[in-house]
Amino acid sequence: MISYQDRDETEYFSSRFVRLERLFEQVQFGISILDDRLQYRHVNDRMATMVGIPVEQLVGRSVQKVDRAVAAALEPLLRRTVAEDRSFVETEVVILDNSPKNRYWLVCCHPLKGGDGTVAGCGLIVQDITEQKIRENAQMERLKFEALLSDLSATFINVHVSEVDGKIEQGLQRIVDFLGFDRSTVWKVSPDGRLLSTHSFAKPGIKPPPDVISNLVPVWESLVHQGEIFEISDVDELPESQWREKEYCKEQGGIRSMMFIPASVGGVVVGFITFVSYRIKRAWPEELINRLRLLWDVFTNALERKSADQKIQKALVEIELLKDRLEAENLYLRDQINIEYKHEEIIGRSDLIQRVLLRVEQVAATDSTVLILGETGTGKELIARALHNSGSRRSRAMIKVNCAALPAALIEAELFGREKGAYTGAVTKQIGRFEAANGSTIFLDEIGDLPLELQAKLLRVIQEGQIERLGNPHPIDVDIRVIAATNRNLAMAVKEGRFREDLYYRLNVFPISVPPLRDRREDIPLLVWAMVEEFSRNFDKKIERIPKKSMEAMELYQWPGNIRELRNVVERAMILSNGSSLIVDVPDISAAISAPSQSIAEMERSHIISVLDRTRWRVRGTNGAAEILGLKPTTLDSKMKKLGIRRSDAAS
């Protein structure tokens, strides 16, 4: 321990202090000399100013008693200087006190020795570098912020559209954490002008934003639609005209400061981003706003790319559906190029056929379901085409489905479609006929032959306008007009449990009964000549007359196959004709006349057996029974099973 009562040592320290003070008097350093108990012995004015106590009150007092914050920063360094007899040069210390900002000092400590050579104290030189440090810290924060913005921008360069939402929310969190905000939200402006939140991040304990803020903040909403950036440092200072905005801030848990940055695409405001502070009042310097606007531009570009991609994907899906539908329509149209009836008009002047045409005219303009009833070959499909071509859906092709001709194992896939892999052998996706008929008309011929298990699905289509592809549980909406036809007694089928009653009533909204040819004999000459004109063009033959005997025979015949059978007879006569006169070989008239009391099914059965006998029971191929009857072989097979026709029925 060194005593300073010795006058020589006091003068020694004083002289050294004077020399130090003169040395640094031009550079505004704080200088002081402390003894080994860390008491101030000499202090210059600059040091007193930095400590905040006059010189005379500092001398003789220890560092600890003068200022605890200063002591906490300096004492460790001072004690080491005395204890270790070593200098510490340009050591940075931080004064942590209750002032708004910390103080930063750059300190140099040197040991001072007494006359006997032992360390008697230390000299302290201090430079206040607070302002410099603040500038450096600000620059460092600026660089860090720039690095953050650069990193976020790089994140969105090659980001997949599926990751955009997650990356934006991560970006909001990083900005909120870095800048000390409490919440940040991305909003979009919907086509109807509403402001909807899409992405947000809030610190724990902070209330999330509402889904929609339209009408809650009318003044701010107006500014957003104008595309203006605006900020509020203190909501309490808002004018009375923005009382609803004040209420919104209170309801949100006490928002203190807020900023809005809108974004425009093509001159139209598409969205905006908000930054919110609850705890402290925030200033919004121009430099910060510009940086945040750059960030919002990055987010906006990513969202626009996502939106554009979604539109492209939607368009591609629509194109694919349209392509599938057109392919399906094309397929079904190709299947029907050789349809049984090629007349563009329904020919006839009988009262019965005129009443049918009146019914067609009455219902054609509506989308009501129509049930066409009539024997096989009466022209039910022509009636269906007349209904379609006279309605509002005529610009699209009518899709025909023969429920009796489709294989039972594939009928569901044909009607409703299938996904790839829906069942063994389903190697591709298939658009069903109902889906192909979307926006048009579907004609369900031979509806009475539809399997009972599929009738429920058909009922759903009619009731709800929805189908489900095989292998896909998600319903597909369809807009279809349904026209059904049958040669069966559906009411009887309902009683026998072979047809659903609810489906029957759904189909039987507007029934049209097509008369058999035997009930409209006056139309036979018109039909025959129309067919002759058609075949004349096809066969390059000119027919000028039909013998009266042939025409009378055709008028007397019962025509169990109706117009289809008549057409086949005329076509066969045209093929065999070698002159200008057409001789028509009408089937056995006496047999047809002798059994007028037979039922339609019995007459049909007899006629089919007769044709089979003529072809030696050959169903398929040229001049086979199916060709003569104008039926597909599969349809004839089906009819033979229903009518109980077997080879044993052959004529002896």
175 versus 2: the higher-pLDDT residue is 175
> Can you tell me the distance from the alpha carbon of 436 to that of 299, in angstroms, rounded to the nearest whole number?
41
- Give the domain CATH number at 83: 3.30.450.20
Residue 202 lies in a domain: yes
Per the CB < 8 A criterion, the answer to whether 483 and 442 are in contact is yes
In this predicted structure, the answer to whether residue 99 has a pLDDT above a threshold of 80 is no
- Number of helices and strands in the chain (H, E): 24, 17
* Mean pLDDT value of segment 195-213: 89
420 versus 7: the higher-pLDDT residue is 420
Residue 146 lies in a domain: no
From start to end of 154-251, where are the E strands? 183-189, 195-202, 230-232
- Phi/psi for 262 (5° steps) reads -75, 165
Predicted local distance difference test score (pLDDT) of residue 164:
84
> Which pLDDT band, with edges at 50, 70 and 90, does 1 fall under?
very low
- Give the domain CATH number at 560: 1.10.8.60
274 and 193 assigned to the same domain: yes
> Can you tell me the distance from the alpha carbon of 15 to that of 20, in angstroms, rounded to the nearest whole number?
9
Q: What is the pLDDT of residues 40-91, one digit of tens each?
A: 988 888 888 888 888 888 888 988 888 888 888 898 999 999 999 999 988 8
Residue 136 lies in a domain: no
502 and 368 assigned to the same domain: yes
Q: Taken in order 45, 51, 53, 59, is the CA torsion positive or negative?
A: negative
427 and 556 assigned to the same domain: no
* Mean pLDDT value of segment 404-413: 76
Residue 245 lies in a domain: yes
Helix (H, G, I), strand (E, B) or coil at 498: coil
Predicted local distance difference test score (pLDDT) of residue 307:
80
225 and 272 assigned to the same domain: yes
Lowest mean pLDDT among 9-13, 114-118, 341-345, 497-501: 341-345
In this predicted structure, the answer to whether residue 517 has a pLDDT above a threshold of 50 is yes
* Mean pLDDT value of segment 165-193: 87
* 530-542 b/e (C-beta count within 10 Å ≥ 16 → b): bbbebbeeeeebe
Residue 624 lies in a domain: yes
Predicted local distance difference test score (pLDDT) of residue 183:
92
pLDDT exceeding 90 applies to what percent of the chain? 18
Q: What is the pLDDT of residues 527-540, one digit of tens each?
A: 999 999 989 988 88
Residue 135 lies in a domain: no
Rounded to whole angstroms, what are the CA distances from 339 to 193, 332, 377, 388?
Answer: 55, 11, 12, 16
Predicted local distance difference test score (pLDDT) of residue 650:
63
> Can you tell me the distance from the alpha carbon of 343 to that of 347, in angstroms, rounded to the nearest whole number?
8
* Mean pLDDT value of segment 484-508: 91
> Which pLDDT band, with edges at 50, 70 and 90, does 570 fall under?
very high
Instruction: From 307, 324, 345, give the residue that closes a domain.
Output: 307
Identify the helix (H) or strand (E) that includes residue 125: strand 119-128
Helix (H, G, I), strand (E, B) or coil at 142: helix
> Can you tell me the distance from the alpha carbon of 324 to that of 335, in angstroms, rounded to the nearest whole number?
16
494 and 526 assigned to the same domain: no
Q: Give how many domains the chain has, as a whole number.
A: 4
> Can you tell me the distance from the alpha carbon of 105 to that of 86, in angstroms, rounded to the nearest whole number?
20
Q: What is the pLDDT of residues 606-626, one digit of tens each?
A: 778 877 877 778 888 877 888
Residue 499 lies in a domain: yes
259 and 172 assigned to the same domain: yes
522 and 615 assigned to the same domain: yes
Lowest mean pLDDT among 17-31, 295-309, 357-371, 555-569: 17-31
Residue 248 lies in a domain: yes
272 and 170 assigned to the same domain: yes
Instruction: Name residue, tokens 């360069």.
Output: 157
505 and 542 assigned to the same domain: no
Identify the helix (H) or strand (E) that includes residue 320: helix 286-335
In this predicted structure, the answer to whether residue 411 has a pLDDT above a threshold of 90 is no
Helix (H, G, I), strand (E, B) or coil at 191: coil
156 and 301 assigned to the same domain: yes
pTM over 0.75: no
CA nearest 560: which of 572, 569, 548? 569
Instruction: From 254, 287, 307, give the residue that closes a domain.
Output: 307
- Give the domain CATH number at 414: 3.40.50.300
Predicted local distance difference test score (pLDDT) of residue 338:
36
Predicted local distance difference test score (pLDDT) of residue 339:
37
Instruction: Name residue, tokens 């392919």.
Output: 327
Which domain covers residue 621, as residue numbers?
Answer: 518-649
pLDDT exceeding 70 applies to what percent of the chain? 87
